[in-house]
Amino acid sequence: MASPAKAFGEAPWKDSELLECAMVVPETTDTATFTFRAPSGAWFDYKPGQFITLDLPVPGGNVQRTYTISSSPSRPLSISVTIKAQPGSTGGRWMLDHLKPGMQIKAYGPSGIFHNQCQTGKKYLFISAGSGITPVMSMTTWAWDSGEMPDIVFVHAARTPSDLIFRQRLEGMADRVPGLQLHFTVEQQDPFQSWHGYRGRLNQIMLGIMASDYLEREVYCCGPEPFMQAVRDMLVALGYDMENYHQESFGAPVRTEAEAPVLDDVVPDESVSAEIVFAASGITAKCNETDTVLAVARANGLNIPSGCTFGLCGTCKIKKNSGEVHMVHNGGISDEDIEDGYILACCSHPMGAISVEV
């Protein structure tokens, strides 16, 4: 028997040592996983969910780019990042086009506060979009490798089924343990391929079906900011305790607690008073931000036709004349209608004084 090709050292890798690209594996169109090793044989010590900064020699001068690590520290012999070339990207594009096995690059880290060594007995809800899947993939692999698979509901949103990164790897794990439940939603189908998962933007109803016990789960969310914003709005509207919510933007990973962006989401507050003018009926009603327009209308003897009462069916669509509402809908209204000033009364909260055409 030949001896192992390489002996691994005692000490963990330090970022004073260059990383050597060992392997490039295509994942989906325009997405690939780059695996690095330390030439000295050092191993990698980090927390699942953390990121690493790569110094990339793009033409015109080096750029530093941070990428969340898609491998897991439970497999410490190498470290991987999975890159999707976002439109207009320079770093990602350069890696996909030029970074080949054998090349060495400078790297810093790993660091970051978005990490989780999933504990058995606890329940998690991972929500990601696009290449935001990488840190939760790392956490999931860690959980799998620990041998005590905790309870994870894994929700991932992609553009089409063929854009689902790590689909096979995740399915391979989920096929073998009950603790990992996968739920994918796509915006569009691939031609000539049937699709049995969810379709459309992630919404509260999907979330409820995917993980009916979401209120009890610790949420880890990663994706572009508008996606995470929509997830936060949904959770807030559903009464989720945001103390248990963690997020990472794949555009701007966070190094320290101090760097973490302050999330100033609109959260209707019961103690803040608001006012709704029902213009056509000549009624002005005082209420709180936490009341829905529909509830206030009813309480004042006005009837706005409604069906689902949670922003899906669109029956309660009305025109807003002035003021701001906070609306978390579930697809019952089109972006065009919102632009034209329409709201769904059942899931709109008045922020201050508003006037509607009822």
Partner 1 sequence: MLNTAEILSQIAARPKNFSLSHDLYCDPGVYQTDLEEIWYKEWIFAIPTCDIPKTGNHATLQVGDYPIVIVRGGDGVIRAFHNVCRHRGQRLCPKQNGSSPKLVCPYHQWTYDLDGKLLFARDMGADFDPSKFSLKPVHVRTNGGLVYICLADNPPEFDRFGGFLDDYVSVSDVTNSKVAFSSTIIEQGNWKLVIENNRECYHCGGSHPSLCRSYSDNPLMTVMEGPNAASPEILEHWARCDAAGIPSRFVNQDDMQWRFARVPLLNNAESFTMSTKSAVNKLMGRMPWKDAGSLMLYHFPSSWNHFLPDHAIVFRLLPISPTQTEVTSKWLVHKDAVEGTDYDLQKLTEVWINTNDEDRRVVEENQKGILSPAYEPGPYSPHQEEGVIHFVDWYCRKIQDRLAPRPAMAAE
**Residues in touch with partner 1 (CB under 8 A):** 187-189, 199-200, 205, 306-308, 312-315, 331-334
Q: Which residue, 18 or 308, has its beta carbon nearer to partner 1?
A: 308
CB of 353 to ligand FES, least distance (A): 22
CB of 85 to partner 1, least distance (A): 24
Residue 331 site contact among partner 1, ligand FES, none (CB < 5 to 8 Å, cut-off depends on kind)? partner 1
CB count within 10 Å of CB 273 equals: 14
Q: Which residue, 166 or 278, has its beta carbon nearer to ligand FES?
A: 278
Span 85-124, contacts to ligand FES by CB under 6 A: none
Near ligand FES by CB under 6 A: residue from 92, 112, 332, 350:
332
Site string for ligand FES, 292-321 (x = CB under 6 A): --------------xxxx-xxxxxx-----
Q: Which residue, 247 or 348, has its beta carbon nearer to ligand FES?
A: 348
Near ligand FES by CB under 6 A: residue from 328, 344, 354, 358:
344
Residue 344 site contact among partner 1, ligand FES, none (CB < 5 to 8 Å, cut-off depends on kind)? ligand FES
Q: Which residue, 223 or 332, has its beta carbon nearer to ligand FES?
A: 332
Residue 130 site contact among partner 1, ligand FES, none (CB < 5 to 8 Å, cut-off depends on kind)? none
Residue 187 site contact among ligand FES, partner 1, none (CB < 5 to 8 Å, cut-off depends on kind)? partner 1
- 150 preceded by cis ω (within 30°)? no
SS3 readout for the chain: CCCCCCCCCCCECCCCCCEEEEEEEEEECCEEEEEEECCCCCECCCCCCCEEEEEECCCCCCEEEEEEECCCCCCCCCEEEEEECCCCCCHHHHHHHHCCCCCEEEEEEEECCCCCCCCCCCEEEEEEEHHHHHHHHHHHHHHHHCCCCCEEEEEEEECCHHHCCCHHHHHHHHCCCCCEEEEEEECCCCCCCCCCCEECCCCHHHHHHHCCCHHHCEEEEEECHHHHHHHHHHHHHCCCCHHHEEEEECCCCCCCHHHCCCCCCCCCCCCCEEEEEECCCCEEEEEECCCCHHHHHHHCCCCCCCCCCCCCCCCCEEEEEEEEEEECCCCCCCHHHHHCCEEEHHHEEEEEEEEECC
CB of 311 to partner 1, least distance (A): 10
Residue 199 site contact among ligand FES, partner 1, none (CB < 5 to 8 Å, cut-off depends on kind)? partner 1
CB of 325 to partner 1, least distance (A): 18
Q: How many residues bind ligand FES (CB under 6 A)?
A: 13
Residue 12 site contact among partner 1, ligand FES, none (CB < 5 to 8 Å, cut-off depends on kind)? none
Question: Which residues of this chain interact with ligand FES, rule CB under 6 A?
Answer: 306-309, 311-316, 332, 344, 346
